[in-house]
Amino acid sequence: MEAATPPASKKTKSIITTSANGTPLKKATPKKAATAVAVTTELQQKAQRIGQQLGELYPSPPIPLDHSSTFQLLVAVILSAQTTDKKVNEVTPHLFKRAPDAAAMACMEVADIQAIIQPIGLAPTKAKNLSNMSKLLLERHGGEVPGSFAELEALHGVGHKTASVVMSQAFGHPAFPVDTHIHRLAARWGLSSGKSVEQTEADLKALLPPSAWRDVHLQIIYFGREHCPAKQHDPKHVQQLIELCQANPFPVAVALAVVIVSIVLALRASGAAKPFLDPQQFKPLSLIRIDQLTHNTKRFVFALPDPKMRLGLPTGQHITFLAKDEEGKDVYRPYTPTTDDDTLGRVEFVIKVYPNGKMTQIMDKMAVGDTMLMKGPRGRFQYSRNMKQAIGMIAGGTGVTPMYQVAAAILKDAQDTTRISLLFGNLTEDDILIRQELDALAAAHPKRFNVHYVLNTPPANWTGGSGFITKDMIKQHFAAPGPNTMVLSCGPKPMTDAMKGYLDSMGYSEEAQFQF
């Protein structure tokens, strides 16, 4: 995302195609380049080492461009050409305040857009592209960002790399965007000839399984920026990895070529690796990161024993935690992670700390390096693709975590067409957990997922629901009772009891209701 993509060695002819509604598109995804990577046993061994180190260095690589919707991600990536992500993040808050969506951006004068983004490179051209791109989104896609390479690349200012970032990060489609860091390191490591961007992309895709592309793409970028820049190297950390990037390009190429090749094979092998969870016994996990999300809510990130390991938790199931309180008594509590079972090497939990909560008080005192005993999978709910046409979800407070887990799993499955509506109740706006993640899902899947926030004490100018979740809200947002409809609920017992009463009176059968 940072800096311009290196130029391709040859221009690819545009291919005329059409969108779903028959609108002609100006170009389509370029022809794939042939791979040129040879896999050897030596490379496989070194690649495994690099994969482990990258995973340890960047176990949960975030998208470096700030955004709160798919449209804003697209804008930020367009702006990132030939400049730094830091500079983009400095101008986008002002830009998105004026134009948070395509409709607002299309109404802005090009000169006004340019004035806001002037500090970054190529501002005049980027301002015109943003204006024209937004108008085209309204004209062809109702203001929504399309989820195909051909339709994305038909937009002004969107090339294959930009489309790849959006397809990967917003829509979960396997893609491997290649920026200057990846192009440079792939050649330096011997993973690609470096003759063209197309070649680098093809070689890396051949080496890595699609499930690893998103994280490895970001991990290489972060590593290139911090430790292996174009002109000098920082030898302070990850010494073995740095040594492979030192000056001797050709031996390095051979050595490191296998390096990420091994990443590949190691990650491919990970699919068959035994998952962490054991339903029969508690096993410890080490805490590697704590993020303070609100005044009383934290994200806890635990490392799995192997960076290639999966947790082994089916969609809709949970994990039991076991810890000792101050009196040495056992405390058990169920928790649902916010990461899914495709996540390798780590598991994350968003947990609200309650003054009288025995387990949350224990967790509030945890420090990085401490361990927690976990056992699972647990739970009665089992999800299967397209098991229902529509699913309604009712959540209160931390009860949103199983809802998010189920919704995210459904929406990332391209073959699942289930429609989801979430009613999410909280005391105040500050109490809304994982709001950014929920809004991102809604922005990426506007036809399949919507969320309606309800607050007991809403602020001025609040546009969501007020008070408690009501029968009318359920009727307004959920599909009518029927054989293809289901409602999931999770939250404080008084709330879930009230919701069951509403659902029973509205005709939702016992089989159509599930309470976590």
Inter-CA distances, 458 with 19, 78, 396, 429, 454, Å: 42, 36, 15, 7, 8
DSSP states of 437-467? HHHHHHHH-TTTEEEEEEESSPPTT--SEES
- Torsions phi, psi for 238 (to 5 deg): 40, 60
Between CA 456 and CA 35 the distance in angstroms is 58
Inter-CA distances, 256 with 50, 176, 262, 400, 443, Å: 8, 19, 9, 43, 39
Q: Check residue 383 and report its DSSP letter.
A: -
Inter-CA distances, 420 with 82, 244, 389, 399, Å: 39, 48, 9, 16
Q: Which amino acid is at 465?
A: G
Which residues are annotated as catalytic?
318, 335-336, 490
Between CA 439 and CA 172 the distance in angstroms is 15
Between CA 389 and CA 374 the distance in angstroms is 34
Give the tokens for residue 66.
């700030």
Alpha helices in 170-196 (DSSP H): 180-188
Distance of CA 190 to the CA centre of its chain: 29
- Under 8 Å between Cβ of 171 and 73: no
- Which residue bears the tokens 């922005």? 443
Q: Check residue 283 and report its DSSP letter.
A: E
Between CA 127 and CA 120 the distance in angstroms is 11
* Termini Cα distance of the chain: 40
Give the tokens for residue 63.
């998208």
b/e per residue, 331-356, with b = 16+ CB within 10 A? eebebbbbbbbebbbbbbbbbbbeee
Q: Check residue 344 and report its DSSP letter.
A: B
Task: Give the CA angle between residues 440, 92, 25 to the nearest 5°.
Answer: 65
Between CA 301 and CA 288 the distance in angstroms is 6
Please state the three-class secondary structure of 319-381 as a single string: EEEEEECCCCCEEEEEECCCCCCCCECEEEEEEECCCCCHHHHHHHCCCCCCEEEEEEEECCC
* Length in residues, the chain: 516
Strand ranges (E), 173-218: none
